[in-house]
Amino acid sequence: MILAGVAGLLMKRWLSDFLKSWGSDSMSDLAYSYWGNLTISFAVYFLVSMGLASHAETVYKGLARERGEVDKRGSDFLSISSVLARPALIAARAGLNRVTIAVIALLVVEGFEFTNGFGIMTNVYDPFDYLANALGVALAYFVDVLSARAISVDRVSS
């Protein structure tokens, strides 16, 4: 999903030109001005989600090793498929939920706007950027919820 957000950012100019070619100058201007905010906010949600899950996973594995539980759980305990299947459990144990992830992602992207690109990038102030950022995080939240439901339905039916 992070790559989808980055791809969306890279397609910003193309989308703007495409909409302009269809005769929609106002939609072209909207896409050019806010599509980047929306797509990067989308990517940041999943980036934050991965960062929190991997930190919790590292702590979880370390504690399991200290307690000697790795040997008891079998050889697949640290396998990639096993690791990919546990983020929901880890997030639940760490008290992290999608709303927390969304709030952190929103703070990151809104902080970027507020501080003029963290002083690294020049940023043109536009109050609607805050709305585009919030919409991007909200879209990511709903994609996350829907994909989790689709995965759980698929596991139940298998």
104-125 pLDDT tens trace: 999 999 988 888 766 666 667 7
- Expressed in percent and rounded to 5, the helix, strand and coil fractions of the chain are 85, 0, 15
pLDDT-derived band at 141, boundaries 50, 70, 90: very high
Using a pLDDT cut of 70, give the percent of the chain over it: 61
User: What integer pLDDT is reported at residue 102 of this predicted model?
Assistant: 92
User: What integer pLDDT is reported at residue 115 of this predicted model?
Assistant: 80
Given a cut of 70, whether residue 59 has pLDDT beyond it is no
- pTM strictly above 0.85: no
Distances, alpha carbon 50 to alpha carbons 56, 61, 92, 116, 156, in Å: 10, 16, 14, 25, 24
**How does pLDDT run across 14-36, given as a tens digit for each residue?**
888 888 888 878 888 888 888 88
- Please name the residues in contact with 98: beta carbons below 8 A apart, sequence gap of 6 or more: 141, 144, 145
- Total count of domains within the chain: 1
Domain that holds residue 19: 2-157
In this prediction, residues 124-143 reach a mean pLDDT of 90
Using a pLDDT cut of 90, give the percent of the chain over it: 18
pLDDT-derived band at 41, boundaries 50, 70, 90: very high
